[in-house]
Amino acid sequence: MNEINKREQIIEVSEKLFLEKGFPNTSVEDITNVLGIAKGSFYTYFSSKEELLKEIVSKTLKNIYEELSQFSFENKDVEKSFEEFVSLNIELAKSYGPSIIVSLRDFGMFLENGSEKALGNVIFDSIKKLIEEFLRNTIQNADEESVIYITGISLSIWIETFFFKKEINKQKMAKLILDGLRRSK
Tell me: do 34 and 74 sit in the same domain.
no
Residue 60, pLDDT > 90, answer no
Tell me: do 40 and 63 sit in the same domain.
no
> Average pLDDT of 7-30?
94
The model's pLDDT over 23-43, given as tens digits with 9 standing for 90+, comes to 999 999 999 999 999 999 999
Tell me: do 74 and 127 sit in the same domain.
yes
The model's pLDDT over 76-129, given as tens digits with 9 standing for 90+, comes to 788 888 899 899 989 988 998 888 877 777 766 655 555 555 555 666 677 788
Tell me: do 77 and 17 sit in the same domain.
no
Domain that holds residue 33: 1-46
Name the pLDDT band for 134 (thresholds 50, 70, 90). confident
pLDDT-wise least confident of 7-21, 115-129, 139-153: 115-129
Tell me: do 59 and 33 sit in the same domain.
no
DSSP string for the chain: --HHHHHHHHHHHHHHHHHHH-STT--HHHHHHHHT--HHHHHHH-SSHHHHHHHHHHHHHHHHHHHHHT---TT--HHHHHHHHHHHHHHHHHHHHHHHHHHHHHGGGGSPTTHHHHHHHHHHHHHHHHHHHHHHHHTS---HHHHHHHHHHHHHHHHHHHTS-PPP-HHHHHHHHHHHHHHH-
Q: What is the CATH number of the domain that holds 128?
A: 1.10.357
The structural domain count of the chain equals: 2
Tell me: do 37 and 61 sit in the same domain.
no
Tell me: do 58 and 39 sit in the same domain.
no
pTM above 0.85, yes or no: no
Helices 3-21, 78-106: crossing angle, 10 deg rounding: 80
Tell me: do 116 and 156 sit in the same domain.
yes
Tell me: do 13 and 77 sit in the same domain.
no
Tell me: do 119 and 86 sit in the same domain.
yes
Tell me: do 95 and 71 sit in the same domain.
yes
